[in-house]
Chains A and B, each alone.
Chain A
């Protein structure tokens, strides 16, 4: 069970090798954490993450193929049948390249399959289990890119817009169930996924995203931005008229 200081005793991470996910686990782990389930594609990093936390919690490592939605039911049922889960973190996603997506539509469909369809599949299934459990929080890593389409990354942005809307809707659906949803909207995050790009203004590191997550959990927030200032920036940008927005260097 999560305690009064919103420290979870058991955490399931979907997309456990993502840098944001690793930072979040580091930030929520503490004396209260007892069980950590790390689901990701098999990789050396996955083993490293598991090893890093083996001393502080019971660590379970599972294979996750985000695009293979048929496999998600068995994965989540298994995790919940072996014990309660206080926090489910959905952190997998691919960034891709806008120019490539416009040339190679199959690549764009694959990205949508992971970022939107795959995330939808795990979010809805996790929400069912959390509802039965009568407690717990689903933390979904979205992106400010989903809030208003931009010329430079609208394929990625559209996948995040989809999962953001789904997670927001789930937060309404779960009201009164004891379970809840928190949507995380980072801006530009300096990670391996973005290493080839010039950092945008208000860029943050994965640890700053994790801090925002922990702060949001403590406050029982429904949406958190990383950095927090992006809330204002995005509110402003959403109201910029289309002709002007198109010309902004975003």
Chain B
């Protein structure tokens, strides 16, 4: 195979790639690009099966793989600058984990962070990630000032969301666009003030779904961050029992009492020949986790990582489900369809499908200008499920129907089993997104296994 690169020493290797769920492996030619010129070279001489950028590989399904084609690893684009106004200019491959200490040292913090800090800046834009503050601060895309994007024609453009003079609609389609509008090579985004390196956290335990949800709605107005862990295994009167954590950045005085974050993961999961997360172990785990939480504890100082990234402390936790892997089902529904949350929890508590982590959050308004951005005002529930669970396919297909009937949708960065019609029905902006691809990438040079599977 002839190399499209200027020199033959660009590191290239054939690799099997999967998402974080470790399902659906496909092979791609992975190219570790050195600079933007390499990105341009790859896009202007694509093979028959196209090109895709992969970030840190933290999407759960097949969003960051391109079977039989080329996958660009942009982690060498790792430049970071924190400007005087607090904005960050970062290369595509910069991990949020690298930015957190830099920003905290300057009294700033990420405007939005997902539940892991091991995602890249470009990935955060491409998936338009959300965090525990969506009800107040929106999604990552809402804080983006500009995106440097190499489109399929090899042109590097500085795109500015909402600005018609700077490809505003292209920038908006890129936010949440799953890497299909071009290769994001750099991003400038705003940050928020963080007076200290600690969080002030309330932990509250609720015995059923109604009281948990009522408390979450209340917390919208009072707390910047809010998230609930739900016992996905509890049934009957205990259905939806959970632990709400809510918080804000602590002021300087409170900060010094927080236990500092450890440097790396505290423990790591080795490769396992079988899954250890079974219905029995998970019932026990969920019950223990629930009881461990205090009924009510207020204004506890917590280190940033403990509050935002509890799972980052367990290296390779995705291996716990064993070699066959797992999937995450995350949907959002408007407030009027709150019953879908209850139905989903009932369905899964009844199924022999153990859920390790069920997370319930509030969402603020949708990012209407970005056609494939996931959040919409209301509720979002995420469930981790092992793929081997019997009846899982039918249960999820059924749930798709309920979510769509409720005016909701499912999250592309998590998806690994939806069908095209489900996405088309959930994302009214999909035709607009396809029009944008027709405009900037008529030959569909940028493709992924996700885009093939879901006909994006």
Contact = CB atoms under 8 A, between A and B. Distances in A.
Given A30-B393, A31-B419, A135-B68, A4 B325 contact: yes
Interface in B115-171: none
Contacts of A220: 324
Nearest to A83: B452
A135 B49 CA distance: 12
A31 B393 CA distance: 10
A84 B16 contact: no
A34 B418 CA distance: 13
A193 B452 CA distance: 39
A4 B419 contact: no
Contact of A31 (B21, B324, B388, B397): B397
Contact size range, A: 20 to 34
A68 interface: no
A218 interface: yes
Interface of B is mostly: loop
Nearest to B448: A1
Interface in A32-66: 32, 34
Contacts of A32: 417, 419
Contacts of B24: 1-4, 135
Given A133-B68, A134-B67, A4 B387 contact: yes
Contacts, number: 79
A219 B23 CA distance: 11
A7 B327 CA distance: 14
A5 B417 contact: yes
Contacts of B327: 4-5
Contact of A134 (B28, B388, B420): B28
B392 interface: yes
B316 interface: no
Interface in A120-150: 132-135
B453 interface: yes
Interface in B10-34: 14, 16, 21, 23-28
Contact of A178 (B26, B61, B416, B452): B26
A77 to B, nearest CB: 13
Given A4-B416, A5-B392, A219-B324, A178 B397 contact: no
B67 A1 contact: yes
Given A133-B68, A134-B26, A176-B14, A7 B417 contact: yes
Interface of B: 14, 16, 21, 23-28, 49, 61-62, 66-69, 324-325, 327, 387-388, 392-393, 397, 416-421, 449-450, 452-453
Interface of A: 1-5, 7, 9, 30-32, 34, 84, 132-135, 176-179, 218-220
The 9 closest A-B pairs by CB, nearest first: A178-B27, A134-B68, A4-B416, A134-B67, A4-B23, A1-B453, A135-B67, A134-B27, A135-B26
